[in-house]
Structure formats: structure tokens, C-alpha cells
């Protein structure tokens, strides 16, 4: 499964990150798609990318199948698992902009400059469940899109497209975003404040220490639990100044909902774990990440594609 988070630093810049949780990787690496990259679409006219993008992707025949990415004007997008709820069109819909599920992050990052622009375009979009190629399956996902102003969640369900404001700037997996937001009402008494002593009859009860106000916030790996905890941490983390402290904030927040091998089996019996954690800085265009096997944080940057041919993906050398 997965968790996504968006927030602003004290200076207003956006930081957008995610955990990708699964049992195995697919050869994904951080790559840069240059501005002007020729994007191939199945059911739309091919187009040159209006924006450069950087993120984690699989390079499929020089096509960036992004898991998450951010572009050169600070718009970011991530796809998260949504099985049992996601429903796609079997064939292109007449009169719609038909975007395949695997194309969605690339289409958003290559095309739009803001959440508002993407949201307006999504009013006429159909998500098509077509494979990227022979032998490749279709992933059933929903998406979070963020910029320096806000985030939205996009869900293609059996009753149609749902494009929703995300007031807590967090996304996990199923059920729907509406369900997760309603579920937060069960935790309205949670607080990061140090509790006062309580008087029960003649007994004065003092807290053992910090953290009593967080009792009841779940800590398991279940999707609803991760949504609650990520929303709580994102809402209560103090605003930070500077890129370093905000990147630390992102990694510490996502660490709080990371999946540890051995904690939860998937339906096929494999253990799920957080394969990687990422953070995109909308101000600098840097993409930071760490992996389960190597927790050191490294980064690549949109600037790494400077001077590169526009028709080729760039796989930069990571920097610490």
C-alpha cells in the first residue's frame, strides 16, 4: 500500500512526498524527463512536454512510467494503490480526454502548472484501463496532486470521476477519500498538548509524561490507520524554515507510517514493506529519496537534465 503527504514550509514552498509500500520493486529509479520530451499517448495526440519533471519511475522503452513526480513549476502528483474501488473505462469515451491510468502522473506533470489547471481539465477526463504494452497489467490507483496552495485527490470509481479537495493533504489507500475524512471525526479529542492533572474523587491523576493526548491514534499498517496517523502528524508538525529541515520533516512524518517487513502480509503471503520514501521540493526542483535497504537520503534535481537531449530520459547520479 502507500501513503502520500503534502505541506508548506515556513517560507511557503511546497514539499510533496510518499511512501511506496509493496513486496518487491520493478527496477524503478529517480529520473528526469526534460522539457520538450515527446510524450506518447494511447488515446490522445502525442505532445511535447510543456514542463520538465523529476521523480521515481520505470523506464519503459524511453517512456517514464512515474510512480510520483514533480515538475519545473512546483506541481507534483503520486499514484497510490486503490484496488476494489478504482474502476476505469474499458474503451475510450466519446467526447472525453481519455487518459490511461499508467499515463496519468506523466500527463499531469508534463501538461499543467497548478492544481487549479489540472482540476479544470479533469472535469472532462475519463481514465482508461489499457495496458502500456504486451505482458503488462493495469494498476488500480487513485492520485493526489499538490502545489504550493493545496492538494486534490482524483478517484475514478464505478459511479464516475471524483475530483475532491484534500483538506488534510494526506492520502493512503482504500476506502474513498470521503470515508477517510469522515473517519477523522472519531479522533477529534486527539491533541499534542501536555495534559493537565485530573481529579477523580479524592485521587489526583497526573500523566506519566508527554504523549497522553495522542492515545487512540492508531499505529498499525492498515490503510485507514495510516491515514489517521499521517493526518495527525502532518497537522501537528511545527512549520519549519529552510529545505533541510522541511525534508527532515517529510521523512520523519512518513517514517511514522512506514511498513516494516514482517508486520503485515499481503493476500499472496508476501510481506509488505516501504520500498522507498520520497520528497519533492517545489522550490528547488530536487527529488529526495531513501530505500528500505539504504536509509541514507540522496537527491537528484530537475537541473540535472540541463543540456541533455529533450527526447531522452535522464538518469542522474545521486548526490548525498
Instruction: Provide the phi-psi class of 271: left if phi over 0, else alpha when psi is between -120 and 50, else beta.
Output: beta
* Residue 319 backbone phi and psi in degrees, to 5: -125, 150
Residues with a known catalytic role: 2
Q: Is 173 left (phi over 0), alpha (psi -120 to 50) or beta?
A: beta
Q: Which residues, including other chains, have CB under 8 Å from residue 95's CB and lie 6 or more apart?
A: 124
Torsion angle of C-alpha atoms 221, 181, 54, 67, degrees rounded to 10: 50
* 140: Cα separation from own chain's centroid: 15
What phi-psi label fits residue 17: left (phi over 0), alpha (psi between -120 and 50 degrees) or beta? Answer: beta
- CA 37/CA 312 separation, integer angstroms: 7
225 Ramachandran zone, left/alpha/beta (phi>0; psi -120 to 50)? alpha
Instruction: Write out the three cell numbers for 287.
Output: 527529488
End-to-end CA distance of the chain: 27
| CA 70 – CA 61 distance, rounded (Å) | 21
Amino acid at each position: 500500500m502507500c501513503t502520500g503527504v503534502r505541506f508548506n514550509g515556513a517560507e511557503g514552498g511546497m514539499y510533496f512526498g510518499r511512501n511506496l509500500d509493496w513486496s518487491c520493486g520493478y527496477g524503478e529509479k529517480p529520473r528526469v524527463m526534460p522539457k520538450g520530451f515527446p510524450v506518447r499517448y494511447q488515446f490522445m495526440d502525442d505532445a511535447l512536454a510543456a514542463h520538465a519533471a523529476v521523480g521515481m519511475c520505470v523506464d519503459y522503452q524511453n517512456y517514464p512510467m512515474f510512480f510520483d513526480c514533480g515538475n519545473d513549476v512546483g506541481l507534483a502528483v503520486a499514484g497510490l494503490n486503490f484496488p476494489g474501488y478504482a474502476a476505469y473505462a474499458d474503451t475510450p469515451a466519446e467526447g472525453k480526454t481519455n487518459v490511461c491510468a499508467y499515463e496519468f502522473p506523466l500527463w499531469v506533470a508534463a501538461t499543467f502548472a497548478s492544481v487549479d489547471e489540472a482540476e479544470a481539465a479533469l472535469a472532462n477526463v475519463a481514465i482508461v484501463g489499457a495496458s502500456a504494452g504486451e505482458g503488462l497489467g493495469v494498476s488500480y490507483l487513485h492520485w493526489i496532486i499538490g502545489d504550493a496552495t493545496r492538494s486534490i485527490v482524483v478517484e475514478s470509481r464505478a459511479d464516475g470521476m471524483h475530483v475532491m479537495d484534500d483538506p488534510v493533504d494526506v492520502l493512503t489507500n482504500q476506502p474513498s477519500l470521503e470515508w477517510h475524512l469522515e473517519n477523522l471525526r472519531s479522533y477529534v479529542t486527539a491533541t499534542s498538548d501536555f495534559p493537565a492533572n485530573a481529579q477523580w474523587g479524592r485521587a489526583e491523576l497526573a500523566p506519566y509524561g508527554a504523549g497522553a493526548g495522542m492515545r487512540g491514534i492508531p499505529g498499525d499498517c492498515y490503510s485507514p490507520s495510516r491515514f489517521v496517523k499521517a493526518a495527525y502528524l502532518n497537522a501537528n508538525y511545527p512549520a519549519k524554515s529552510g529545505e533541510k529541515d522541511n525534508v527532515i520533516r517529510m521523512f520523519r512524518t512518513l517514517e511514522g507510517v512506514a511498513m516494516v517487513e514482517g508486520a503485515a502480509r499481503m493476500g499472496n503471503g508476501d510481506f509488505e514493506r516501504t520500498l522507498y520514501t520520497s520528497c519533492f521540493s517545489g522550490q528547488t526542483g530536487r527529488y529526495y529519496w531513501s530505500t528500505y535497504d539504504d536509509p541514507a537520503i540522496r537527491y537528484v534535481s530537475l537541473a540535472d537534465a540541463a543540456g541533455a537531449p529533450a527526447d531522452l530520459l535522464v538518469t542522474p547520479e545521486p548526490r548525498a
